[in-house]
Amino acid sequence: MKQHDAMYIDGSWRPAAGSGTIDVVNPADGQVIAAVPAGSAQDVDAAVRAARAALPAWAATSPAERAGLLTALRDQLAARAEEIAETVTAELGSPLAFSTAVHAGVPVAVCGSYAELARSYAFEEKIGNSTVLHEPVGVVGAITPWNYPLHQVVAKVAPALAAGCTVVLKPAEDTPLVAQLFAECVDAAGIPAGVFNLVTGLGPVAGQALAEHEGVDLVSFTGSTAVGRKIGAAAGAAVKRVALELGGKSANVILPSADLAKAVGVGVANVMANSGQTCSAWTRMLVHEDRYAEAVELAVAAVAKYVPGERVGPLVNAKQRDRVRGYIEQGVAQGAKVVAGGPEAPRETGYYVKPTVFADVTPEMTIAQEEIFGPVLSILPYRDEDDAARIANGTVYGLAGAVWAGEAEEAVAFARRLDTGQVDINGGRFNPLAPFGGYKQSGVGRELGPHGLTEYLQTKSLQF
């Protein structure tokens, strides 16, 4: 596996200002597989300066030219999909089949969608006696998480480039190798020097320096609500644009008329994917009290297929593993019933957690309120639809969710009652063109598709 002991700044790989490094660990066995530079405020400053210098020429390129370069980038990502999947599996721990389909496959589709949008988007529109111009917001500081390490990079960088912005990326310290690979693809695609820059480093050092840099016009951050609050506060003080994609505690509401076996099976799969390290995972399954016992039995049978080390990978690091086990212990202490899994280690090596299902969960329990970010499902009973809506909406989050019913119309009517940014109806497929983002403390702004592009644009009105 190739790695760089350098930053990608202004179109070339250059040494970091300091000598510090960050070890990259394979969570399946705890072995160090690489080391990358721990970037400093000095490195961030160099990257922001490069992005500022490149901005006027890049912003002046035609949308068609930007589309061509994004197409070239998509082709580079597609050509190196196998290497991308292997890299993500090595540093994140996800099973190779999942890495291939999702971690390598989805970014190709998203990058391609922004190549198309750059061509088709109306960057000018007429409103009465005005012409409204949609112009790039400027230099973007992108801070991405480890759970979908390439998808989150592409979901920020591709729309920013399509809009005519330049970018400085600070990827998560747990998964920097795929970000280096992405920088190689940017370089090979022929995107001009300074338009995209990569600084690896720790969040409280490089991430904070990027978020607070006066040369950054917009900070786009995906991660925890706690860190998002700090970034939002700093951006507010500087009157700077911010896009925040934060936590979730999404409800999977199964109405009485639904195909229960299908709804439970898909619901369990949703939570177990990526070892539960998905901000939009449906971690609360809501089932009518009359069918509750049957749903619990179905969930126990479904989760048995998820064997640690086979269909479900480890968590990203030891701290995350310990955190998730702590939540499982808390659930037991508060009176929830473990019907599958539990806090014990399933394997001698690696940061694995047993896929766990809780029954007898009440809405106020910690495991039903806080984001666990692991393979842990809580099943809650409800009395009627009003009760289900109250429970579903009864957290500080509002990122995603699901509704199942015999007829789509019934599910849609209930979905309208949910305070959440996305709802899948009867197992609706992920749509890379649909806006993704949250209500309440799940964030500010939207990613993906045309709504994701508008985050990186500002408007200017010309009156005639």
Annotated catalytic sites, by residue? 245, 279
Tell me which H or E stretch contains 129. none
Report yes or no: 267 and 402 within 8 Å, Cβ to Cβ. yes
d(CA 211, CA 154): 19
Kindly tell me the burial class for residue 335, based on how many C-beta atoms sit within 10 Å of its own C-beta (0-12, 13-18, 19 or more).
exposed
Report yes or no: 421 and 397 within 8 Å, Cβ to Cβ. no
Nearest CA to 376 out of 343, 347, 424 is that of 343
DSSP string, 219-250: EEEES-HHHHHHHHHHHHHTT-EEEEE-----
372 CB-near residues (< 8 Å, 6+ apart): 276, 283, 323, 324, 327
Report yes or no: 374 and 276 within 8 Å, Cβ to Cβ. yes
367 CB-near residues (< 8 Å, 6+ apart): 327, 328, 330, 331, 334, 336, 358, 361, 376, 378
CA dihedral over 181, 183, 185, 187, signed as positive or negative: negative
d(CA 24, CA 272): 24
Secondary structure (3-state) at 297: helix
Tokens, residue 408? 């789509």
Tokens, residue 140? 């973007």
What is the spatial order of strands in the sheet that 124-127 belongs to? 124-127, 130-136, 457-463
Nearest CA to 189 out of 240, 243, 121, 115 is that of 115
Report yes or no: 339 and 358 within 8 Å, Cβ to Cβ. yes
What length does the chain have?
A: 464
Nearest CA to 189 out of 114, 243, 101, 91 is that of 114
